[in-house]
Amino acid sequence: MPKVRINWKEIYITFGIIGYIVWMIDTTIAVPFDIFDINHPKKTGLSEIILYGVIPSCLSIIYLNLYKREKKWTLVTFFVIISFILEWLTSKVGVMKGAWQIWWSIPIFLVAYAFFLPWHLKFIQKNGIDRVIIA
């Protein structure tokens, strides 16, 4: 995949921010309300690190790297489908368990890909956050 849209500083910032947001949502909403569990409900392991910290961040970076305003909705649709398939697979193999219905994630994926990630990139680039944090 050619790295044409975002630089390495934006990659690092995005990886950290997305990983942090996903962990915080899990900690503040999913755990207290027992919405779903990844593997053993009382233990944190490698599967949580990968499913919360790595996969969403990597998908976000790939999305932003490919992002162009004129093909936004094609990319949004593609990444929502990919994200849904990945979540469906975790459910099918028994990694994700609980009351959460996986189709409930579709609106969340739509908001993330269509609105949050483009705003996030624009915010970093407009405010020079990559220069402030890294420099």
SS (H, E, C) 41-83: CCCCCHHHHHHHHHHHHHHHHHHHHHCCHHHHHHHHHHHHHHH
Domain regions of the chain by residue span: 8-134
Span of 2-6, 13-17, 36-40 with lowest mean pLDDT: 36-40
Q: Report the range of poorest mean pLDDT among 5-14, 27-36, 68-77.
A: 27-36
State mean pLDDT over 82-97: 81
